[in-house]
């Protein structure tokens, strides 16, 4: 079989499985009508948090799910159908770079709608400007936490810095949009957020692995 056709069929199969698994997900958000202090974790993956509404389209077993940790299996490319003004905090970590720009912007707009006045949207994304600067400075040490298993294929003569840039930008075709703070601030401000600021790592919220801390940009927007 043609390799391109094989990839296309695999992607189609994954999309069909996902569509079936999340076909009734919008109804799950209706039970939050009347709420105003929800904490929502978008694209949670295995990081299912107690006291939060955790949203992800993963088809894997949810080992960390408990009665105290609400989980909604939902494809966020279809938006976030939470009631207006229902959330105090919406958090996402390394999600929006996986969405097409128009889809990501629409989801940010949904976050704004779902947040109550003075609610916070906290977003963590790859820190691409630092990666690009390391490339320009020929700073191979900057990428020292990225193991070879993150990269694709064999490289004759060993790795070069551009291999890490390719991984950071494309990640096997999973990344759809690159952000820096300027772009993020412009998009969020145009949606209506009153204040968009850079932030530092917060241990009570952010993923604490060395890899994430080294290569992430943190920002918050206030409604």
pLDDT tens track for 93-107: 999 999 999 999 999
pLDDT (tens place) for every residue of the chain, 223 residues total: 665 555 554 564 455 555 555 566 777 888 899 999 999 999 998 899 999 999 998 755 555 556 678 889 898 999 999 999 999 999 999 999 999 999 999 999 999 999 999 999 999 999 999 999 999 999 999 998 887 666 755 554 567 899 899 999 999 889 999 999 999 999 999 999 999 999 999 999 999 999 999 999 999 999 9
- The first and second tokens of residue 200, run together, are 């530092």
Residue burial 79-105, b: 16+ Cβ < 10 Å; e: rest: bbbbbeebbbbbbbbbbbbbbeeebbb
The domains located in the chain, with CATH, are 3-126+175-222 (3.40.50.150)
- Positive/negative CA dihedral, 75, 116, 207, 66: negative
Q: What are the tokens at 12?
A: 């189609």
Query: Over the stretch 44-66, which tens digit does the pLDDT of each residue have?
Result: 988 999 999 999 987 555 555 56
Nearest Cα residue to 117 out of 215, 27, 205, 193 = 193
Q: Which one, of 84, 78, 76, 77, lies nearest residue 30 by Cα?
A: 84
Helices 181-191, 101-114: axis angle to 10 degrees equals 50
Kindly report the pTM of this predicted structure: 0.88
């Amino acid at each position: 079989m043609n390799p391109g056709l094989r990839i296309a069929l695999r992607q189609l199969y994954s999309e069909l499985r996902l569509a079936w698994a999340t076909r009734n997900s919008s109804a799950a958000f209706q039970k939050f009508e009347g709420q105003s202090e929800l904490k929502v974790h978008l694209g949670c993956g295995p990081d299912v948090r107690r006291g939060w509404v955790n949203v992800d389209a993963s088809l894997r077993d949810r080992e960390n799910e408990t009665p105290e940790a609400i989980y909604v299996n939902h494809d966020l490319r279809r938006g976030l159908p939470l009631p207006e003004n229902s959330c105090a905090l919406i958090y996402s970590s390394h999600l929006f770079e996986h969405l097409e720009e128009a889809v990501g912007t629409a989801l940010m707009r949904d976050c704004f709608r779902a947040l109550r006045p003075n609610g916070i949207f906290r977003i963590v994304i790859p820190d691409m400007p630092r990666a690009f600067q390391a490339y320009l400075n020929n700073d191979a040490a900057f990428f020292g936490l990225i193991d070879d298993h993150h990269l694709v294929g064999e490289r004759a003569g060993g790795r070069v810095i551009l291999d890490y840039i390719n991984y950071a930008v494309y990640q096997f075709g999973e990344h759809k949009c690159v952000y820096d703070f300027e772009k993020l601030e412009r998009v969020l401000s145009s949606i209506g957020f009153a204040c968009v600021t850079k932030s530092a790592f917060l241990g009570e919220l952010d993923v604490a692995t060395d890899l994430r801390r080294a290569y992430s940009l943190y920002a918050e927007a206030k409604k």
